[in-house]
């Protein structure tokens, strides 16, 4: 598995001017900028300077780029301009504007006539570069959608229905059925964007007169090839995404009620999912932890941009007003975390061997469902007979009621099926992450083994013989620390897997219940059409999964895996370590030194820098990232949960068959789990819960991931410290 040089996400901060409203109430500007340093002053420092007991809440942050009183052109030139050429050369690029409501995200992305925003400037620059490149032919298609209340709508066509996301084996996550317009000039793009913006859902809230209630995603698909005929052509395909996120809502700030409150909680949900992904990707202590991209439509769409082969820029917007202190600090903390996100070209690589069985399960599951539907369709004599027979319909005498019931059923079936596919795929991804963790652990263990071998040749006591960890070189200590983190992440992933398995069981039981209720809920002819539709959608999904399997096999990642094992083995053999017996047994038996806990032996900043760690995080980074804990937020969650429960079908009467199927599934998963466990060395240190990664299942926030306790490692009982030469006992 070849990895290109990793680079970090570029994070820029944009501070908007004080608004008229803020100035009119004498709100103060509390943001100071000195090059890469951003200082958030404490308002109390203005008013209460004489009170020496007052503890200042002043905060300092370091960022790649900070803009204050800057025009959009300046922001563009120092950030996004550098993405245009790579995007035209086949590299994926993404820019997203993040920040609380009213902080200037839409201003940054769209701008005004006098100060055109990033989207306009990007398109202009793109066509400028295309026109000056006479050697190549470019084709550009654009799409523009919004995610509103977790539903995707096309902004380029009027009255768009809801669109769905699909996992395309070649293009990654795609929006099925989205309109893509071929464009040849800036003007064409601009008129499409303007029309799209008019269709975007905006409302006045207390915090912003034209608050964007949705996340807007503009994408340009670029293909480039040489202007040479009659030769085999290489076509490069890049994707440039520009995303204007909806603002994070705090009920207390916006004083939203009713629909706005419900809407806000959905916006928060996808932003919480985004924050969870940023936390998982950007936290150095969370190596190998499963990234919950599937928790929201937004994060599913952003999967490539956050953790894949994509150059991404995050522009975090803030107001400078003292009244916005909490929002400013929250935004800056998330932005700081995002700075740690790194990219690797092959981050989305899949491990074929470990997936084939899982995919086969999905296919056989779909097949049996199709069979059951077919037999319902063909064996039920009442369906085959008179299509206008209304005899089976017990409850609906009137056609309108019938239509409503039919639509409700359709929605239930679709939702149930989508949810199942999402859970299944998430389980696959989780398995993949754990398998990668096993590999990463072994890779590091092999490194330690090599170091041990080299040490054996020296006249020093072995670390097992009392040599403290502090005497171990930094690069080896880093391997031990990484191993510890990876094992902790694998445990955390397994806990999450258990949650998901329970959800899957419930989903399947609900599916059976919905299907068995069809006969009593709709008309005969409708039932027939309905079942046919169901069969078609299932066949489509099955074909999709089968295609994925074939592609995975073609990817030959199995070979990659074998190559890795072989090269690792060769490496060890070269060092005279592997005697040809079992390499993996040998590395699995490797235990970290017990004389001192790994946490006790802190590496110096210099040592860590040498090992590739980043120290650009603010001093208070260790603090927990606060979440919206206000009453309104909780109330809106409750509201959502209640509406969900009332829409749910009572599934207490589970069929025996489903129970057996569920048990078989759990048994299978347990077998897989014990297999994974057998391959993984149990951690010697209890790491406790890993912080910062929340859990959203079926759209419900199970664990916000931000209230968890911090990662704590119980300190090992330290032996009395030896000094100087005592530490290095002579080998006998």
Ligand X SMILES: Nc1ncnc2c1ncn2[C@@H]1O[C@H](COP(=O)(O)OP(=O)(O)OP(=O)(O)O)[C@@H](O)[C@H]1O
Q: Which is nearer to ligand X, 296 or 542 (CB)?
A: 296
Give which of 362, 297, 328, 682 is closest to 491, Cα–Cα.
682
CA distance 411 to 442: 46
- Give min distance, CB of 17 to ligand X, in A: 5
Q: Which is nearer to ligand X, 254 or 445 (CB)?
A: 254
- Give min distance, CB of 426 to ligand X, in A: 29
State the DSSP code for 582.
Answer: -
* Cβ–Cβ < 8 Å for 296, 270: yes
Q: Is 437 a residue that touches ligand X (CB under 6 A)?
A: no
Segment near ligand X (CB under 6 A); pick from 95-103, 320-328, 507-515, 537-545: 95-103
Quickly count: other Cβ atoms within 10 Å of residue 581's Cβ.
7
Segment near ligand X (CB under 6 A); pick from 105-113, 120-128, 358-366, 416-424: 105-113
Q: Which is nearer to ligand X, 19 or 186 (CB)?
A: 19
Q: Is 102 a residue that touches ligand X (CB under 6 A)?
A: yes
In 204-343, DSSP assigns E strands to 211-212, 215-226, 235-244, 310-318, 342-343
Site for ligand X (CB under 6 A): which residue of 8, 18, 19, 525? 19
Tell me whether strands 151-154 and 136-148 are parallel, antiparallel or unpaired.
antiparallel
Q: What one-character-per-residue DSSP string does 286-308 give? A: GTTPPP-GGGSHHHHHTHHHHHS
- Give min distance, CB of 503 to ligand X, in A: 32
Ligand-binding annotation for 106, yes or no, is yes
Ligand-binding annotation for 99, yes or no, is yes
Ligand-binding annotation for 591, yes or no, is no
Segment near ligand X (CB under 6 A); pick from 204-212, 272-280, 467-475, 520-528: 204-212
Ligand-binding annotation for 100, yes or no, is yes
Question: What residues form DSSP beta bridges with 171?
Answer: none
Site for ligand X (CB under 6 A): which residue of 246, 314, 332, 485? 246
Q: Dig out the tokens for 596 from the structure.
A: 């001192």
Q: Is 17 a residue that touches ligand X (CB under 6 A)?
A: yes
Tell me how far CA of residue 94 lies from CA of 213, 279, 361, 515, in angstroms.
Answer: 21, 19, 35, 42
Q: Is 265 a residue that touches ligand X (CB under 6 A)?
A: no
Segment near ligand X (CB under 6 A); pick from 11-19, 148-156, 412-420, 623-631: 11-19
Q: Which is nearer to ligand X, 102 or 282 (CB)?
A: 102
Helix (H, G, I), strand (E, B) or coil at 417: helix
SS (H, E, C) 154-202: ECCCCCCCEEEEEEECCCEEEEECCCCEEECCHHHHHHHHHHHHHHCCE
Ligand-binding annotation for 102, yes or no, is yes
Q: Is 99 a residue that touches ligand X (CB under 6 A)?
A: yes
Q: Is 330 a residue that touches ligand X (CB under 6 A)?
A: no
Q: Is 250 a residue that touches ligand X (CB under 6 A)?
A: no
**Size of residue set near ligand X by CB under 6 A:** 18
Q: Which is nearer to ligand X, 338 or 449 (CB)?
A: 338
Q: Which is nearer to ligand X, 247 or 308 (CB)?
A: 247
- Give min distance, CB of 272 to ligand X, in A: 16
Q: Which is nearer to ligand X, 97 or 483 (CB)?
A: 97
- Give min distance, CB of 265 to ligand X, in A: 15
* Cβ–Cβ < 8 Å for 365, 542: no
Helix (H, G, I), strand (E, B) or coil at 656: helix
CA distance 676 to 637: 36
Q: x/- binding map, residues 208-237, to ligand X, per CB under 6 A?
A: x-xxx-------------------------
- Give min distance, CB of 246 to ligand X, in A: 6
Tell me whether strands 10-15 and 65-68 are parallel, antiparallel or unpaired.
parallel
Considering only residues 106 through 165, tell me which ones interact with ligand X, judged by CB under 6 A: 106-107
Q: Dig out the tokens for 276 from the structure.
A: 């969870």
Q: Which residues contact 452 (CB under 8 A, 6 or more apart)?
A: 462, 590
State the DSSP code for 451.
Answer: H
- Give min distance, CB of 325 to ligand X, in A: 17
Q: Dig out the tokens for 448 from the structure.
A: 């330690």
Q: Which is nearer to ligand X, 92 or 103 (CB)?
A: 103
Q: Is 247 a residue that touches ligand X (CB under 6 A)?
A: yes
Q: Which residues contact 514 (CB under 8 A, 6 or more apart)?
A: 409, 412, 413, 416, 649
- Give min distance, CB of 704 to ligand X, in A: 21
Q: Which is nearer to ligand X, 17 or 719 (CB)?
A: 17
CA distance 239 to 93: 6
* Cβ–Cβ < 8 Å for 383, 527: yes
Considering only residues 534 through 573, tell me which ones interact with ligand X, judged by CB under 6 A: none
Site for ligand X (CB under 6 A): which residue of 104, 251, 307, 662? 104
Q: Which is nearer to ligand X, 369 or 628 (CB)?
A: 628
Q: Which is nearer to ligand X, 285 or 323 (CB)?
A: 323
Chain centroid to Cα 378, Å, comes to 43
- Give min distance, CB of 99 to ligand X, in A: 6
Ligand-binding annotation for 238, yes or no, is no
Tell me whether strands 92-98 and 310-318 are parallel, antiparallel or unpaired.
parallel
* Cβ–Cβ < 8 Å for 286, 489: yes
Segment near ligand X (CB under 6 A); pick from 99-107, 295-303, 343-351, 420-428: 99-107
Task: Look at the alpha carbons of 596, 457, 583, 441 in this order and tell me if their dihedral is positive or negative.
Answer: positive
Considering only residues 309 through 328, tell me which ones interact with ligand X, judged by CB under 6 A: 317
**In the complex, which residue's CB is closest to ligand X?**
247
Q: x/- binding map, residues 340-369, to ligand X, per CB under 6 A?
A: ------------------------------
Q: What one-character-per-residue DSSP string does 45-95 give? A: HHH-TT-TTPPP--EEEE-SEEEES--HHHHHHHTTHHHHHHHHTT-EEEE
Segment near ligand X (CB under 6 A); pick from 14-22, 233-241, 293-301, 532-540: 14-22
Annotated binding site for ATP: 99-106
Contact residues: ligand X, CB under 6 A: 16-17, 19, 99, 101-107, 208, 210-212, 246-247, 317
Q: Give binding residues as ranges.
A: 99-106
């Amino acid at each position: 598995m070849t990895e290109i040089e990793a680079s970090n996400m570029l994070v820029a901060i944009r501070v908007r001017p004080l608004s008229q409203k803020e100035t009119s109430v004498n709100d103060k500007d509390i943001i100071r900028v000195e090059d890469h340093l951003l200082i958030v002053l404490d308002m109390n420092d203005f008013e209460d300077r004489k009170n020496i007991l007052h503890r200042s809440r002043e905060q300092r942050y370091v960022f790649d780029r900070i803009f204050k009183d800057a025009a959009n052109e300046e922001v563009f030139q120092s950030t996004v301009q550098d993405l245009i050429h790579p995007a035209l050369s086949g590299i994926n690029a993404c820019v997203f504007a993040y920040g609380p409501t009213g902080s200037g995200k839409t201003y940054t992305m769209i701008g005004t006539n006098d100060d055109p925003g990033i989207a306009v400037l990007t398109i202009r620059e793109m066509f400028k570069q295309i026109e000056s490149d006479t050697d190549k032919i470019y084709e550009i298609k654009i799409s523009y959608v919004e995610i509103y209340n977790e539903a995707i709508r096309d902004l380029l066509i009027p009255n768009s229905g809801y669109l769905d996301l699909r996992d395309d084996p070649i293009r990654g996550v795609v929006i099925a059925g989205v309109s893509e317009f071929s464009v040849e000039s800036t003007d064409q793009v601009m008129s499409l964007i303007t029309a799209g913006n008019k269709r975007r859902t905006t409302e006045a809230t207390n915090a912003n007169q034209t608050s964007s209630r949705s996340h807007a995603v503009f994408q340009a698909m670029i293909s480039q090839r040489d202007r040479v005929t009659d030769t085999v052509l290489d076509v490069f395909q890049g994707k440039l995404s520009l995303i204007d996120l909806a603002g994070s809502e705090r009920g207390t700030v916006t004083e939203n009620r009713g629909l706005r409150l419900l809407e806000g909680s959905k916006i928060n949900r996808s932003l919480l999912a985004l924050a969870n992904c940023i936390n998982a990707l950007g936290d150095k202590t969370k190596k190998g932890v499963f990234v919950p991209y599937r928790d929201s439509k937004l994060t599913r769409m952003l999967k490539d941009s956050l953790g894949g082969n994509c150059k991404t820029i995050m522009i975090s917007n803030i107001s400078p007003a003292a009244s916005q202190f909490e929002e400013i600090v929250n935004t800056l903390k998330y932005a700081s975390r995002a700075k740690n996100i790194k990219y690797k070209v092959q981050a989305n690589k899949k491990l074929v061997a470990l997936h084939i069985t899982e995919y086969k399960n999905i296919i056989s599951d779909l097949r049996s469902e199709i069979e059951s539907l077919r037999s319902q369709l063909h064996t039920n004599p009442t369906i085959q007979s008179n299509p206008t027979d209304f005899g089976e319909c017990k409850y609906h005498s009137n056609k309108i009621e019938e239509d409503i019931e039919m639509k409700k059923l359709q929605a239930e079936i679709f939702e149930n099926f989508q949810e199942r596919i999402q859970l299944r795929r998430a389980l696959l991804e989780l398995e993949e992450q754990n398998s990668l963790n096993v590999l990463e652990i072994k890779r590091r263990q092999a490194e330690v083994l090599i170091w041990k071998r080299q040490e054996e040749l020296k006249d020093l006591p072995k670390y097992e013989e009392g040599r403290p960890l502090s005497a171990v070189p930094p690069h080896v200590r880093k391997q031990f620390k990484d191993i510890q983190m990876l094992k902790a992440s694998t445990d955390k992933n397994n806990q999450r897997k258990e949650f998901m398995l329970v959800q899957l069981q419930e989903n399947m039981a609900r599916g059976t219940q919905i299907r068995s209720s069809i006969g009593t809920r709709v008309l005969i002819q409708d039932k027939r059409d309905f079942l046919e539709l169901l069969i078609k959608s299932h066949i489509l999904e099955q074909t999709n999964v089968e295609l994925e399997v074939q592609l995975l096999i073609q990817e030959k990642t199995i070979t990659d895996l074998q190559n890795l094992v072989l090269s690792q083995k060769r490496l060890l053999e070269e060092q005279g370590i592997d005697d040809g017996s079992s390499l993996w047994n040998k590395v699995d038996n490797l235990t970290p030194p017990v004389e001192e806990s790994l946490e006790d032996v802190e590496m110096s900043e210099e040592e860590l820098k040498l090992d590739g760690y980043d120290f650009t995080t603010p001093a208070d980074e260790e603090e927990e990232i606060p979440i919206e804990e206000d009453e309104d937020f909780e109330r809106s969650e409750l509201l959502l949960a209640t509406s969900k429960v009332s829409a749910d079908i009572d599934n207490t009467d589970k069929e025996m068959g489903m129970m057996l199927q569920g048990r078989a599934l759990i048994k299978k998963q347990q077998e897989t789990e014990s297999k994974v466990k057998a391959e993984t060395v149990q951690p010697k240190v209890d790491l406790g819960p890993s912080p910062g990664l929340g859990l959203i299942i079926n759209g419900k926030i199970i664990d916000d991931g931000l209230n968890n306790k911090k990662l704590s490692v119980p300190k090992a009982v330290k032996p009395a410290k030896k000094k100087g030469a005592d530490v290095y006992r002579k080998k006998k």
